[in-house]
Amino acid sequence: MATGWAGDGAVQDQIDATVNDAVERARRQLKDGPGLKRCEECDAPIPAARRKAVPGVRLCVACQQAADDDQGAHLFNRRGSKDSQLR
Write the pLDDT tens digit of every residue in 48-63.
999 988 888 999 999 9
pLDDT the model gives residue 69: 86
**pTM of the entire structure?**
0.50
Domain count, the chain: 1
Asked whether residue 80 is assigned to any structural domain, the reply reads no
Answer whether 86's CB lies under 8 Å from 11's CB: no
* Interior/surface letters 33-66, b for 16+ CB within 10 angstroms, e for the rest: eebbeebeeeeeebeeeeeeebeebbbbeebbee
Asked whether residue 41 is assigned to any structural domain, the reply reads yes
In which domain, by residue range, is 33 found? 27-75
In the predicted model, is pLDDT for residue 14 greater than 60?
Answer: yes
Asked whether residue 48 is assigned to any structural domain, the reply reads yes
Asked whether residue 18 is assigned to any structural domain, the reply reads no
pLDDT the model gives residue 63: 94
